[in-house]
Amino acid sequence: MSVTKRDQLKLPKRKKPAVQLKPEVEIYLPTYHFLINEFDHARKHELGIIRDDHEEFIHQYRVALRRSRALISLLKPLFRSKEKDILKDTLRQLMQHTNLMRDLDVFLINMEQYFSLLEHQHHKGLIRFFDDIQSQRRKSLKTLKGWLKSGEYKSACNQVLTQLDSMRDNPTTEGKLGCKATAHSMLWHQFKQIESQCHNIDTNSDDAIIHQLRIDCKKFRYLLEYFAPILASRDTKQQVDRLKTLQDTLGSFNDSSVQLEFFKHYLTEQKKKSGRYKAIEELIDIYGDYHNKAKQLTVEQLVQFRQPKSLDIYYTLYQEPQD
């Protein structure tokens, strides 16, 4: 986060892939162009990350990589096993190098909220906590800059492009199927998986199970958005909106879980009588209560999501491919 006023880079705009989805076009080719385009879009954020112009650069970089990983995972029949494994592992490696920076940015973005939650007597301790976060962020940024400028990073990026080119040049049998038939098959499979997960979650469910549902819902949304050009626009938008509502609830629950874990780990490194310790201890109490309420709200949202009227649109569109 820059503390000086200077000209900042503008966030890159996503361009349309060279080959678009069309109902009867073989699915592998537009998928190749989409993934190439998405990876290129991610890399256009590198300079903004290195210059530390704005936290949105690293966020959008991660979103583009996450979307690519999700589609490769969900459209796995389009890839040969070795290609798929290398792509998933390499993209995961690229993501992992940005994890800490993004986590620290989220804390800094929400700084005012934390201060508003605590009594004034704990503010000095909270200031010390954010001093530690800022210090950790500076070290993390230095490490990330070195990674983005390294030969190892360039090699990893080339590996992604090489595997995608292989997918284009040597398509699988499933890759030669039409886009529309593939869309219905893939969306139906992912939807049924999510429907099954929803039925198995209640207030006694482990946090990790709810977290996995959040990941799968996000993947489903990415898949839905990818196939949107060849689906009924009104129905697709309605589904995306419903998924976003559910994801927001799941996201709030997950955020509280992540923050609680961070706070608890932070306390293990502090003296019990310090202002930092007392301030974070108070936040743990507050977020523990918020976490429980978020879990209850999540379960209520899932009950609404799996109501027959809510599910009808998915059954209508995906159970049987439409001509």
The 10s digit of each residue's pLDDT in 268-319 is: 999 999 999 999 999 999 999 999 998 999 988 888 888 777 777 777 666 5
pLDDT of the residue at 82: 94
Average pLDDT of the segment spanning 225-242: 81
Helices (H) and strands (E) in the chain, counts: 13, 0
Is the separation of the CB atoms in 195 and 306 below 8 Å? yes
CA 46 to each of CA 9, 148, 149, 200, 238: distance values in angstroms, whole numbers, following the listed order: 11, 7, 9, 41, 34
- 11 located within any domain: no
- 2 located within any domain: no
Q: Are both 200 and 299 inside the same structural domain?
A: yes
Chain segment 130-144, per-residue pLDDT in tens: 999 999 999 999 999
Compute the Cα dihedral for 24, 25, 26, 28 and give only its sign: negative
Q: Are both 163 and 193 inside the same structural domain?
A: no
Average pLDDT of the segment spanning 122-134: 96
- Look up residue 26 and give its DSSP letter: B
Determine phi and psi for 9, rounding to 5 degrees: -65, 150
CATH (domain of 317): 1.40.20.10
Q: Are both 282 and 207 inside the same structural domain?
A: yes
Estimate the crossing angle of helix 207-227 against helix 55-74, to 10 degrees: 80
Last residue of a domain, one of 153, 177, 201: 177
Q: Are both 160 and 172 inside the same structural domain?
A: yes
Q: Are both 143 and 215 inside the same structural domain?
A: no
Average pLDDT of the segment spanning 27-49: 97
Chain segment 31-41, per-residue pLDDT in tens: 999 999 999 99
- 7 located within any domain: no
- 262 located within any domain: yes
Is the separation of the CB atoms in 311 and 263 below 8 Å? no
Two tokens, residue 139: 């070290």
Q: Are both 132 and 209 inside the same structural domain?
A: no
pLDDT of the residue at 79: 96
Q: Are both 41 and 144 inside the same structural domain?
A: yes
Distance CA 179, CA 25 (A): 6
- 308 located within any domain: yes
pLDDT of the residue at 252: 87
- CB neighbour list of residue 316: distance below 8 Å, 6 or more residues apart: 235
- 6 located within any domain: no
Q: Are both 145 and 195 inside the same structural domain?
A: no
What domain range is 320 assigned to? 178-323
Last residue of a domain, one of 158, 177, 196: 177
Q: Are both 173 and 204 inside the same structural domain?
A: no
How many domains does the chain fold into? 2
pLDDT of the residue at 319: 54
Residues of the chain with pLDDT > 90: what percent?
63
The number of residues making up the chain comes to 323
Chain segment 71-109, per-residue pLDDT in tens: 999 999 999 999 999 999 999 999 999 999 999 999 999
pTM of the model: 0.90
Per the listing, tokens 């309605």 go with 238
- 15 located within any domain: no
Two tokens, residue 179: 């886009």
- 118 located within any domain: yes
Q: Are both 26 and 173 inside the same structural domain?
A: yes
Is the separation of the CB atoms in 182 and 33 below 8 Å? no
Q: Are both 184 and 284 inside the same structural domain?
A: yes
pLDDT of the residue at 318: 64
Closest Cα partner for 68 from 188, 218, 175, 284? 218
Closest Cα partner for 279 from 289, 267, 290? 267
Last residue of a domain, one of 177, 192, 223: 177
